């Protein structure tokens, strides 16, 4: 661990040079380098707050227990902030485990914990349920795996949503296509949350895109640049994926999105369980996550 207070971060590097950096604030991955450490795979705004003052604009924010604006009513999550409190809470670093597999390609797993007893009073008030989260980040030579384990530590059941708000770094959004979503129904938040079906094998981005693809049959979503596969995003026990690019106006309207033109160098492919609610009975556990493979 380096740094102190809210800006404490954990860094791990493989013998072959690949690296990952995670802030204790939000357990937010802010950097993942593959290719011997030469290729940064995550986009991070130049004005991202890294001091714990607000959710990080970039990297992989952890969204829990609600995705998007809280529901108006009928759910325990109604008075939570947008995307919940996990990404703006201080997590504990639980430890690191390294492993050498048969092919002597090493990997390192970093674990982080967040418990209802140590979230802010506001969060506790907004969502007074006893829970435990363990977030595991595993760096291997060409992949990063991030998995959230949710445990109901209380006496009553609760419902939640979760999502990994991954900002992938790309060279030029106009040359990006996203495959693996053909035929999938999606809610289009740019078109008044109307429902559509993905009729083209590739999703391309030529303007603001904010779509929630739900119940996706294929577990792998592939991001291509100029027709060459760049990332595989593999879901583990999560059925939904959000595709988001704010485009020019929205990017310019976010104070912590910088430089304004950087919307051409990022695309969010966010795996989650966001359609409906996951219900956990007392003592039950839910685990879901992703493996992102860098194909460069």
Residues 6+ apart with CB under 8 A from 285: 149, 150, 151, 152
83 binds ligand TA6 (CB under 6 A): yes
What are 177's strand-pairing partners?
204, 224
Tokens matching residue 200 = 């083209």
Minimum Å distance from CB 211 to ligand TA6?
Answer: 9
| Helical segments of the chain, H only | 121-126, 247-253
Q: What is the C-alpha separation between 198 and 205, in angstroms, rounded?
A: 13
Classify residue 58 by its DSSP letter: B
Among 151, 189, 225, 296, binds ligand TA6 (CB under 6 A): 189
Among 158, 244, 247, 263, binds ligand TA6 (CB under 6 A): 244
Phi/psi of residue 203, nearest 5 degrees? -90, 125
Determine whether 165 is an active site residue: yes
For ligand TA6, what does the binding mask look like between residues 123 and 162, x meaning CB under 6 A? Answer: ----------------------------------------
Is 57 labelled a binding residue? yes
- Given 46, 92, 165, 249, the catalytic residue: 165
Minimum Å distance from CB 207 to ligand TA6?
Answer: 14
82 binds ligand TA6 (CB under 6 A): yes
Tokens matching residue 57 = 């604009």
Q: What Å distances lie between residue 251 and 45, 112, 165, 187, CA to CA?
A: 10, 31, 16, 21
| Residue 143 · residue 292 · CB < 8 Å | yes
Minimum Å distance from CB 216 to ligand TA6?
Answer: 16
275 binds ligand TA6 (CB under 6 A): no
Instruction: For ligand TA6, give the closer residue by CB, 57 or 230.
Output: 57
The 39-40 sheet, strands edge to edge: 9-13, 19-23, 28-34, 39-40
Please report where in the chains the tokens 């977030």 appear, as a residue.
135
Scan residues 60-79 and list those touching ligand TA6 (CB under 6 A): 68
Among 158, 263, 270, 271, binds ligand TA6 (CB under 6 A): 270
Minimum Å distance from CB 242 to ligand TA6?
Answer: 5
Is 87 labelled a binding residue? yes
Minimum Å distance from CB 87 to ligand TA6?
Answer: 8
Q: State yes or no: cis peptide before 123, omega within 30 of 0.
A: no
91 binds ligand TA6 (CB under 6 A): no
Q: What is the C-alpha separation between 57 and 246, in angstroms, rounded?
A: 12
Scan residues 202-221 and list those touching ligand TA6 (CB under 6 A): 210
- Given 92, 270, 281, 287, the catalytic residue: 270
Determine whether 83 is an active site residue: no
Where do contacts with ligand TA6 occur on this chain (CB under 6 A)? 55, 68, 82-83, 165, 189, 210, 242, 244, 268, 270
Task: Return the active site residues.
Answer: 165, 270
């Amino acid at each position: 661990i380096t740094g102190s207070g809210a800006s404490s971060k954990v860094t791990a590097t493989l013998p072959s040079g690949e690296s990952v950096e995670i802030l204790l604030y939000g357990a937010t991955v802010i950097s993942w380098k593959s290719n011997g450490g030469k290729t940064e795979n995550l986009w991070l705004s130049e004005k991202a707050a890294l001091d714990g003052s607000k959710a990080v604009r970039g990297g992989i924010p952890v969204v829990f227990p609600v995705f998007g604006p809280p529901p108006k009513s009928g759910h325990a999550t109604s008075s939570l902030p947008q995307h919940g409190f996990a990404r703006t809470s201080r997590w504990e670093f639980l430890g690191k485990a390294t492993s050498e597999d048969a092919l002597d390609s090493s990997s390192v797993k970093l674990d982080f914990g967040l418990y209802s007893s140590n979230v802010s009073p506001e969060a506790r008030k907004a969502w007074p349920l006893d829970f435990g989260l363990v977030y595991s980040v595993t760096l291997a030579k060409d992949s990063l795996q991030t998995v959230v384990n949710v445990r109901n530590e209380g006496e009553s059941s609760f419902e939640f949503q979760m999502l990994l708000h991954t900002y992938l770094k790309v060279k030029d959004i106009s040359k990006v296509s996203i495959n693996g979503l053909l035929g999938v129904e999606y809610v289009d938040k740019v078109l008044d949350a109307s429902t559509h079906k993905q009729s083209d094998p590739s999703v391309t981005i030529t303007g603001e895109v904010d779509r929630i693809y739900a119940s996706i049959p294929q577990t792998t979503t592939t991001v291509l640049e100029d027709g060459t596969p760049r990332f595989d995003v593999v879901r583990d026990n999560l059925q939904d994926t959000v595709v988001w690019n704010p485009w020019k106006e929205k990017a310019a309207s976010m104070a912590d999105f910088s430089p304004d033109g950087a919307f051409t160098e990022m695309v969010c492919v966010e795996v989650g369980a966001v359609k409906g609610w996951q219900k956990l009975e007392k003592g039950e556990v839910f685990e879901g996550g992703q493996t992102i493979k860098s194909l460069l």
